[in-house]
Each structure stands twice: as C-alpha cells, then as structure tokens.
Amino acid sequence: MSNIKEIKNDLLNDSYYKIEHESGLTIFVYPKKDYTSTYAIFGTNYGSIDTAFKTSDSDKFISIPEGTAHFLEHKLFESEELDAFTRYAKTGASANAYTSFDKTCYLFSCSNNFKESLEILLDFVQHPYFTAQTVQKEQGIIGQEIKMYEDVAEWQVLFNLLKALYHKHPVRIDIAGTVESIAEITDKTLYDCYNTFYNLNNMALAVAGNTNVEEVLEIADRLLEKSDNVKVKRPDIDEPKEIVKDYTEEKLSVAMPLFNLGFKETNKEPVRSLKEQICTNILLELIAGETSKLYKELLSKGLINTSFGSEYFYGYGFATTIFGGETKDPKEVAKYIKKEIQKLKENGIDNKDFERVRKMLYGRTIMGYNDVDGLANELVTSCFEGYDKFDDVEVYKSITLKDVEDRLNQQFNENYSALSVILPA
Amino acid sequence: MQNLFNVMELDKGVRICNYKTDRFKTGRVSFNIAVPLGKNASAYAILPYILSRSCGKYSDFSELNSRLAELYGAVVVGSVTKSGESQIIRVSINMVDDRFALDDESIFEKCSELLCDLIFEPNVENGVFNSQDVDREKRFLLEKIESEKNDKRVYALRRCEEIMCEKEAYGLNCYGTTKGVEALTPQSIYEAWKSLLETGVMQINVVGSAGANEKVISEIVKKRLSKFNREHLTSLDTNVIEKANEVKKIEDRLPIKQGKLVMGYRAGITNQSENFGALRVMVDLFGGAPYSKLFMNVREKMSLCYYCSSRLFRQKGIIMVQSGIEEENKEKAIKEINNQLKAMQDGDFNDEDLKSSIAGLTDTLMKVCDTPEGIDAWGYTQITEEKFKSPENLVEEIKSVNCDQVKECAKKVTLDTIYMLSKEEEEK
C-alpha cells in the first residue's frame, strides 16, 4: 500500500499531499482550487554533473560521456510506435523537458484531458527505445543546440566563470556536452544510464493545479512498474577549495562587456539546506539589491544598468554566489562589490535593513504560490534536496539577523573568487 | 469555463478591465497607454522607465524601492511594446493579497495609490523632468537598444522586420532609435508625458480579490485624469499589407558561430481581425508546435536545426519563420521551408492534424487565466481593439475552423523578405 500524507500550511491556506508509492516513486499532488490548468512533472535525480556513477549493487564507478543526460532527455520522447509528441498532439497538452546540472525532468501543462496526458507521461518515461540510427539523427540536432548556446553571451560568461572556479567538479562542463563528446554516445550508453538513473526510487512526480489525489493515484497505480530498490551513488569529488584562476575573458559579438563575479564556497556536506539558501538570498539583497547602497552608488557612477543582478548558484556538490550584468568596466564593478562585502563583514548588518529585506522576500515567496508550474518544479527539487516546500515561508518568518551575519562570514571569501568577462569582438 | 472579465468604459478612450478572483495569493494593477508608433517613439519609450523609478513623493529609486519593500516586496515594472503600429507604454504593480498583511493594512489600496502617484504625479519641477533621472534613463535605454544585438534570435527577427517594413511604421523599434534617445531633454520628455496622458488610449487592468474595489480604482483614476484635457484622442490604425511584391534578400555578417535565418511573409489579410481562427490554425500547423510541418521536416527529418518555427503577428498581418542553422545549409533550409508552405497551400494535412492544432490552441487559450500576469497580458494586447474578446470567445472561433479554410488561408500567404545573419569571413 502507498503511504499518503497531507502537508498543510495555515498562513497560505494551502495543502499538498506527499505519497510514498509502492512502486518506489515519491508523488506530490498540490490541488489548486478554481484553477483551470494542471501542470505535471516527472523528474529523475540525474543531470549533467553525473558523468560517473555507481549503483548500490555494484562496487565500481562507471564513466560516461559529457552531455549524456541531456542526450537521453531528447531521445526518451521516441518509441517504437508513436513518439510522445505525436501522442500529446491528441490531448492538446503542451509538453517539454529539460536537463539541468543535477536533474532531468519531463513535463506537460494542460487545461483539458489531464488524465490522458498523465498516462502518456508515465508511459513514455518508463519505456525507452533507442537505436543506433535514432541516436545518430539526434547528433545533428543537438549539435545545432550546442552551437546556438555558443553565441549566447550570458551562457558563455557563466561557464567561463565555472571553469575558472572549479578544477574537477563536472559543473564546469556544458550541460549539453560538446560536439565531440556526444559523438561518443551510443544506444548502449543511453540504456546503461537509463537503467541506472530512471529507477523510480531515484525519481519524483509532482502534479499541481486542477487535480486531486484520487485521479493521480488511479493512474499511478495502474501504470507505475515497481522498481528494484537500488540506490544510485554519486562519487565524492575531491574538489579543492582553491580556484583555478581569478580572471578569464572571451570575445563575442556583444554591444558592451558582460561580467560574472563568483565566490566559490567550500562545504563539507554536498547539499545546501533551505535555511542556508534563504540566508544567502537575504544577503544578496542586502549587498547588491535594488534597495542597497551599493546599487545606488554603481548606478550613479554609470557602472551598471538594469541588467545587473545576483544569484545563488548551487546544486549537488557545488555552491557559488554570482553577481553579474553589463558594464563598461567589469574590474571596477568587481572591486566595488568586494569592498562592500568587506565593509558589511566589518561593520555588521543594520537591523532595519535586515527587516526590510526579510519582509520583502517573505512577500515575494508568498507571490510564488500562485504559479502551478513553479510549485510543481519546486516540489521535485524539495524532494531531491530533502525539505518540505512550505518550509520556505516559515524560515522567512523565523530567521534572525545573527543567522544572516554568520552566513556572511562563512560564505564570501575573496581569495576564492573569480571574475569572468565577455568583451565585444 | 466562466468568463470573469468585466470590461467597462470609464470615459472616452479609458477602459477598465477588471478580473475578480480569490484564487491568487496576489493582486495586480496595470496602466496601459497606446499611441501611434511614429517619430516620437523615443520619447514615449523612455516614459515607462522614468515613471516606474520615482515620483514626486518618492523622488529617487532608493526611496521608492524602500517603500515597495515595506509593501511586502510589491514589484513595479515599466515596459514598452508594440502591437501592430501602436506603441504601448505599460506600468504595472504586483503585490501580495491583503490577507497576508502582518497587520491590518490594505496593501492593495496603498499599491494602487502608489501606482497612480507614479503615473500622474512624476518627479517634475518647473515643468520639466529631473535632469539626473533623465540622464540615467537615457543611458539605460541606449544600452538596451545596443544590447538587442546580444540576443541573436531577437536581433535577426528585428532586422527582418525593419527591412520588410522599411516604408511602414511597423519597421520602427518600440524603444525608438539611438539618435532619437540621444536628443531627448527633460523638456521634451515632459511634453511627451503630457501628450501621452492627454491623447493616449488607456486601459487599466485589475486582477485579484480586491477587484471588488474597481469602484475605488475608477474614482482614483477619474480624479487624476480630470487634470488633463482629453478632448483630442489619438486614433490607432495599422497599415496591413495584403501581398508581397518581389522577395527582398538581405544578409548581415557578425562574428558568430551559428547562422540565423528569418523569412518574413505577408499573411494575406487586409485587416487585423479578418479570418482570425483559420489563420491561427494555419500558422500553428505550419510551424507552431512539435506536430507542425516545420518541426517534423526541417528539424526531425532533415536534422538541419534545433529550432524552426513560425509565428503570427496578427495586428500587423505578418508571419515570421525563424531558424538557427549552419550557413552552408541556408539554401537547403529555405527550399524546405518553401516546400512546407506549399504543402499547406496544397492542403497536405488531414482532419487529425486539424484536430491536434485545435486541441493545442484551445488548451493554451484556456490556461491564460491561471496567472495574474496571463490575465493582464490578455487584457493589454487588446487595447487597440474596439471589441474586447475573452479567451472563451477565441476558443469558439478556433473550434469552428475546417481544413478548407486553413488551406485557403495558406494560399494567400506570400514571401516578402529573406534575412540571414551570417558569420563574418575569417580574416586572412
């Protein structure tokens, strides 16, 4: 029997259900009253950083070509008979898929024929069909996808930064791999990876919107095929805390220079807790958000424009804080940001500033609960990272200035930072 | 599915579009003002940015942002777009619903007042905008125009529009021009602001549980507008050209890795609302979805690209096909795209294909009202239409389309411009 738990939040007046299904899959159902549409996402805890793996019933790590997870995502839509897109065409759902550093997800959204579309999703993700011929056809298409990203300056500035920060961690490689690495992929590679990572114990399904537990379970009970209880192990990567180099630049066809300034973190545990993430979000607002002194100063000096921003970039075994945008003088902006962080470390954070930012981010977090797409995606993430989705609102309510100050001192180390710049060609 | 849009004329050229619902955690209000896209484009384009970053009461963006943070992180966004040959100036505010306030304040009311302050009581002294604000926003807008080049897909599409419509207002960029922005002064921007509020066609969209307060909003807006002379409203017409003459071919070169092909077509209609349902289905079957001709052939069968898709710009009556390809495959791709249009014109699709397209388009339309942003966008894109249509109205139109109508639509489509963005030659 499957175990069903209701998780409630009084403030939001919302509930979702977490189901440990007997097949091994974790299922989330988040009904949204009065919504017309439903969004479903079926994901595996497997992404571009998984270039080597070992299962709990074997003792050797196996290496696979860069870009395999993404390649597999493309190919899973095909089957011996009708491919998934052709089947979705009958239901009217919009279907898609994506591969990130540590996840591969298949999704659809619809306002009609939800059950039929969910059947298609559960069916095609559980039934791979790869041949030498179909693998070869995809190499041309993905080759063009890789080329397309080579012209996207925001993408290049990020990967150049990651290559400057990380010696060994596979976060430094492009999600789609390279034209050379994908040429090594065969139908057998795909089957090996599929059989390892697409074990239901390593996956999650989340459905949000115009739906309920009964209809999801009826389909899940019928279509999910029990997986052997095998766990996948990610290798421990011996990533030094030092960076590779502190500056990197490339020329591309852009109007004005683009920069990413990253601070590499060193952590013992590979996964960042929700509290750490939220402390960082507050810090980023305090340091460089639109209400910060630094933002105002950089604007008045003409050093940044509205493209300026920051993000916490983290996943399994990596975590970096990144500031970025367009500027006429990347080195100067980097200097200002580092100086501001130093100042905050020395003088501490003003309690009024902290409260203002906390209230703002608390409001923005609540705003996020409108969106069924975002909710379903976050439920899958929360499952792989091990927290409850509703914790985000609660953490914002309980977090203290001291939590944030502690994080500030631990997180930003100037010696482990690097600047990546794209200059106009 | 129930139509919850409540549309009313507040005054000549001022429409309030109210969507009342409890299902969101947020409320949203947007001001949308349309003027003809023309020689004043740069001055109008800078306005939403100036207006959304300060006002008389909060005279710089830090003060304004602190106020927004106090209002639980309410978000103000200014933007400008074009719809047909109209330029639309937008300022919106998004806020958490009153039920999440930590004390008894009404966030909705305070945010609505703030939005009106931004639009009607800007940071103006002695009849001109603040010169520091103007200098900053001029720089931002100039950099935005320049940076369009960074996204090669957008840039190639813009260039094709510009070349195809060089003798039409539609060829203009909604952000104006570098020269136009450079010439702006605190004075000329003030004149544009006045003219925007005196002559522009307005639509105010309200979404949320507080929509009950549409009367409150109406009163606030009426009071503020009474200070402006709105006797001479502008008229918003778009020149829709039915047929292309000879095909224009233009190639640009930049130091890039992948070529971008854009093919611009005239859709064969003479006004914005003609034959709408059938045209939507035709463009969808041609290149709008994974079951379309372009996806199935140019991408899946020939492996020429990662994307090849078509898009209808209904208000202007044009269709754009875009693809990222290797330069040496250019002629092959053009030939195949033409073949696929020919297939549409020959009626080489069946009832099953038609059903897929109707199902896909209907499904998308019915999702529109599941986000406040979707509702707002639905509302504002109809600012130039006299008769407001709900998504349900369009679903009905699309469901009634048959194969013959789609084929007839395709037959009227003519190729106008082939644009290619290519790699620069290697230096010798």
User: Apex CA B327: angle with CA B326 and CA B329, to 5°?
Assistant: 70
Residue ranges of B 153-172 with Cβ closer than 8 A to chain A: none
A306–B140 CB contact, under 8 Å? yes
Reduced to 3 states, what is the DSSP secondary structure of residue A72?
helix
Give the model confidence (pLDDT) of B20-35 as tens digits: 998 999 999 999 999 9
Alpha-carbon distance B150 to B162, whole Å? 17
Cβ–Cβ below 8 Å for A148 and B68? no
Note whether B263 and B336 are within 8 A (CB): no
**Residue pLDDT, tens place only, A365-407:** 999 999 999 999 999 999 999 999 999 999 998 999 999 999 9
Burial class (CB in 10 A: 0-12, 13-18, 19+), A141: middle
Q: Are strands B201-208 and B14-20 parallel, antiparallel or unpaired?
A: parallel
**Taking Cα atoms as reference points, which of B281, B153, B290, B358 lies closest to residue A96?**
B290
Chain B contact set for A362 (CB, 8 A): 72-73
Residue-level pLDDT at A87 = 95
> H/E element holding A262?
strand A258-264
- pLDDT tens-digit map of B356-382: 999 999 999 999 999 999 999 999 999
Q: Is A187:A131 a contact under the CB 8 Å cutoff?
A: yes
pLDDT, tens digit, 9 for 90 and up, residues B132-176 = 999 999 999 999 999 998 999 999 999 999 999 999 999 999 999
Mean pLDDT of B86-115: 90
Segments in B260-350 forming alpha helices (H): 276-287, 293-294, 330-345
Percent of chain A with pLDDT over 70: 100
Residue A54's pLDDT is: 84
**Phi and psi at residue B52, to the nearest 5°:** -90, 0
In whole angstroms, give the CA distance from residue B153 to residue B155: 5
Nearest to A250 by CA among A92, A401, A80, A422: A422
How far apart (Å, rounded) are the C-alpha atoms in residues B277 and B345? 17
Vertex A271, ends A377 and A122: CA angle to 5°?
Answer: 35
- Is there a contact between A91 and B359 if contact means CB atoms under 8 Å apart? yes
Find the length of chain B: 428
Q: Give the H/E segment covering residue B86.
A: strand B86-96
Interface predicted TM-score (ipTM): 0.88
- Contact status of B326 with chain A (Cβ, < 8 Å): yes
Q: What percent of chain B has pLDDT over 90?
A: 80
Report which residue type is found at B333.
Answer: A
Q: Which of A73, A78, A239, A340 is catalytic?
A: A73
* pLDDT for the residue A51: 93
Amino acid at A108: F
Shortest distance, CA B198 to any CA of chain A (angstroms): 29
- Judged against a pLDDT cut of 90, whether residue B3 lies above it is answered with no
Distance CA B169, CA B341 (A): 27
pLDDT, tens digit, for every residue of B312-353?
999 999 999 999 999 999 999 999 999 999 999 999 999 999
Instruction: Confirm or reject contact between A268 and chain B (CB < 8 A).
Output: no
d(CA A52, CA A58): 13
Q: State whether B370 and A291 contact (CB < 8 Å).
A: no
**Chain B CB within 8 Å of residue A355 CB:** no
For residue B60, the chain A residues in CB contact (below 8 A) are 296
The Cα B300–Cα A23 span in angstroms is 34
**Candidate from B71, B257, B371 with C-beta closest to A370:** B371
Say which residues have a Cβ less than 8 Å from residue A21's Cβ, sequence separation at least 6. A2, A27, A200, A220, A224
Q: How many residues does chain A have?
A: 425
% of chain B beyond a pLDDT of 70: 98
Chain A 175-214, CB below 8 Å of chain B: which residues? 209
Mean pLDDT, residues B185-199: 97
Per the CB < 8 A criterion, the answer to whether A72 and A129 are in contact is no
Residue with tokens 């069903």: A4
CB-based burial of residue A368 (10 Å sphere; 0-12 exposed, 13-18 middle, 19+ buried)?
middle
User: What pLDDT does residue B309 have?
Assistant: 96
- pLDDT given for residue A236 in this prediction: 86
Which residue in the set B68, B72, B370 is minimally distant from A372, CB to CB?
Answer: B370
The CA radius of gyration of chain B, in Å to the nearest whole number, is: 23
A158: nearest Cα among A167, A150, A148, A169: A150
| Stretch 321-350 of chain A: residues touching chain B, C-beta under 8 Å | 326
Burial environment of residue B358 by CB neighbours within 10 A (0 to 12, 13 to 18, 19 or more): buried
Q: Does residue B428 surpass a pLDDT of 60?
A: no
A14, A369 in Cβ contact below 8 A? yes
- What is the pLDDT, as a whole number, of residue B218? 85
Question: Are the Cβ atoms of B364 and A33 closer than 8 angstroms?
Answer: no
Given B26, B151, B355, which is nearest A370 (Cβ)?
A: B26
Q: How far apart are the first and last CA of chain A?
A: 62
Closest approach of B329 to chain A, Cα-based (Å): 12
Distance of alpha carbon A243 from alpha carbon A221, whole angstroms: 49
Task: Give the separation between CA A247 and CA B345, rounded to whole angstroms.
Answer: 56
Residue A377 to residue A208: CA distance in whole angstroms? 9
Among the residues of B236-328, which ranges form H helices? 276-287, 293-294
Q: Is B258 on the interface with A (CB under 8 A)?
A: yes
Give the chain B residue whose CA is nearest to the CA of A363. B72
**Distance in angstroms (rounded) separating the CA atoms of residues A99 and A69:** 7
Q: What is the mean pLDDT of chain B?
A: 93
Catalytic-residue membership of A405: no
Residue B262 in 3-state DSSP?
strand
Whose tokens are 């009609």? That residue is A112
B199 at the A interface (CB within 8 A)? no
Res A294: pLDDT: 96
Whether A301 and chain B come into contact, CB under 8 Å, resolves to: no
pLDDT at B100: 84
In tens digits, what is the pLDDT along chain A, a chain of 425 residues?
789 999 999 999 999 999 999 999 999 999 999 999 999 999 999 999 999 988 777 888 889 999 999 999 999 999 988 899 999 999 999 999 999 999 999 999 999 999 999 999 999 999 999 999 999 989 989 998 999 999 999 999 999 999 999 999 999 999 999 999 999 999 999 999 999 999 999 999 999 999 999 999 999 999 999 999 888 888 888 899 999 999 999 999 999 999 999 999 988 889 999 999 999 999 999 999 988 999 999 999 999 999 999 999 999 999 999 999 999 999 999 999 999 999 999 999 999 999 999 989 999 999 999 999 999 999 999 999 999 999 999 999 899 999 999 999 989 999 999 999 999 99
A-B contacts (CB, under 8 Å): 180
Instruction: Say what the pTM is.
Output: 0.92
pLDDT tens digits for B207-261?
988 655 677 788 888 889 999 999 999 999 999 999 999 999 999 999 999 999 9
∠ CA B128-B132-B135, nearest 5°, is 95
Q: How far is B245 from chain A (nearest CA, A)?
A: 33
96-155 in chain A: CB under 8 A from chain B: 109-113, 137-142, 144-145, 147-148, 150-154
Cα separation, A318 vs A265, in Å, equals 8
